[in-house]
Amino acid sequence: MITARNLTKTFGRLKALDSVNVVLKGGRSIMLIGPNGSGKTTFIKCLLGLVIPDEGWLTLDGEDLLGDHTLRRRIGYMPQIGRFPDHLKVGQVIDMMREIRRGTFTRTDEDLIEAFDMAKISHKTTRTLSGGMRQKLSACLAFLFNPDVLVLDEPTAGLDPVAAEILKEKVRAERDRGKLVLLTSHILSDLEDITSEVLYLIEGRVQFHRPMAELAEEHGEQRLGPLIARIMKAAKP
């Protein structure tokens, strides 16, 4: 679904992405893992058109993602920090997104809006929302237009356990419908049960990109945290 070829981005002297080649297929939920500054965020931002790479290509089903802003209609994004215009109400923010994306989607998906009971807080201004409520709103907006690709940056951070479970269930459902879900998280255990593939980046390079099940079997470890620790230890001589 998404193909990156030689994707390179440097910030000053820092090589945030160093010729990344990767193919991400639909029907998977792919966890991006790597130490701080390994290029996870830069990779996501390239995908979303927020960062313009120096070199390389990014395609979505063969179409050039970098040159065509209309292709972003097929992507839903949940940022790490959701901040909306202070004085708008939750309902207005949702309406605004609908208006901005008008004509670019065929059907909306309001499962999360219902599951999170957003109607109850739709009259609140976004400024008064707690961090968790903002996350819920961000999640609703990411899934709202039924996109083929979902980019979720630290989706469960700040969510209460009930909301986190709802979101994870939704991710699982969308993945099984053939969508591509890209995830990042600092707390690996949070998302391990919905991860189907692991994409490991170090210093802007892809260290490995393998199915979770395969890794688990090879290292005899089901939990993602210890698994990654074991792999990192093995990699060092």
Partner 1 sequence: MTRIVKYVLRDILRSRIVLAYTGFLLAASFGLFHLGGEISKGLVGLLSLVLIVVPLVCLVFGTIHFYNSYEFIELLAAQPVKRRSILIGEFLGVAGALTAAMIVGIAPPVVLYAASTTGFTLLAVGLALTVLFTAIAFLGAVATRDKARGVGLALLVWFYFALLHDGLMLLVMFFFEDYPLEKPAMAMIALNPIDLGRVIVLLQMDVSAMMGYTGALMKDLLGSTLGISAGVAALLLWAALPVFASNWIFRRKDL
Cα of 71 vs its chain's centroid, Å? 17
Q: Which of 8, 92, 122, 207 binds partner 1 (CB under 8 A)?
A: 92
Q: Does 204 bind partner 1 (CB under 8 A)?
A: no
Cα–Cα distance measured from residue 106 to residue 101, given in angstroms and rounded to the nearest whole number: 10
Task: Give bridge partners of residue 23 from the DSSP assignment.
Answer: 3
Cα–Cα distance measured from residue 52 to residue 157, given in angstroms and rounded to the nearest whole number: 27
Q: Does 216 bind partner 1 (CB under 8 A)?
A: no
At closest approach, how far in Å is the CB of 97 from partner 1?
8
Q: Does 51 bind partner 1 (CB under 8 A)?
A: yes
Instruction: State the number of binding residues for partner 1 (CB under 8 A).
Output: 33
DSSP sequence for 77-102? EE-SS----TTSBHHHHHHHHHHHTT
Contact stretch for partner 1 (CB under 8 A) within 19-27, 30-38, 85-93, 212-220: 85-93
Q: Does 158 bind partner 1 (CB under 8 A)?
A: no
Q: Which of 23, 81, 119, 229 binds partner 1 (CB under 8 A)?
A: 81
Cα–Cα distance measured from residue 221 to residue 215, given in angstroms and rounded to the nearest whole number: 8
Q: Which of 12, 13, 62, 99 binds partner 1 (CB under 8 A)?
A: 99
Closest Cα partner for 181 from 234, 228, 143, 137?
Answer: 143
Q: Does 45 bind partner 1 (CB under 8 A)?
A: yes
Q: Which of 12, 13, 36, 70 binds partner 1 (CB under 8 A)?
A: 70
Closest Cα partner for 171 from 150, 200, 146?
Answer: 150
Q: Does 97 bind partner 1 (CB under 8 A)?
A: yes
Q: Does 72 bind partner 1 (CB under 8 A)?
A: yes
**Tally of CB atoms within 10 A around 201:** 25
Tokens in use for 14?
A: 């820092």
At closest approach, how far in Å is the CB of 35 from partner 1?
21
In the chain, at which residue ranges do the beta strands (DSSP E only) sit? 2-11, 14-24, 29-33, 55-60, 63-64, 75-78, 149-153, 180-184, 197-202, 205-211
Closest Cα partner for 123 from 152, 96, 93?
Answer: 93
Q: Does 73 bind partner 1 (CB under 8 A)?
A: yes
Q: Which of 34, 82, 155, 204 binds partner 1 (CB under 8 A)?
A: 82
Q: Which of 37, 49, 91, 132 binds partner 1 (CB under 8 A)?
A: 49
Residues of this chain, 5-24, that bind partner 1 according to CB under 8 A: 11
At closest approach, how far in Å is the CB of 188 from partner 1?
25
Interface residues with partner 1 (CB under 8 A) are 11, 45, 48-52, 69-73, 75, 77, 79, 81-88, 92, 96-97, 99-102, 104, 141, 151
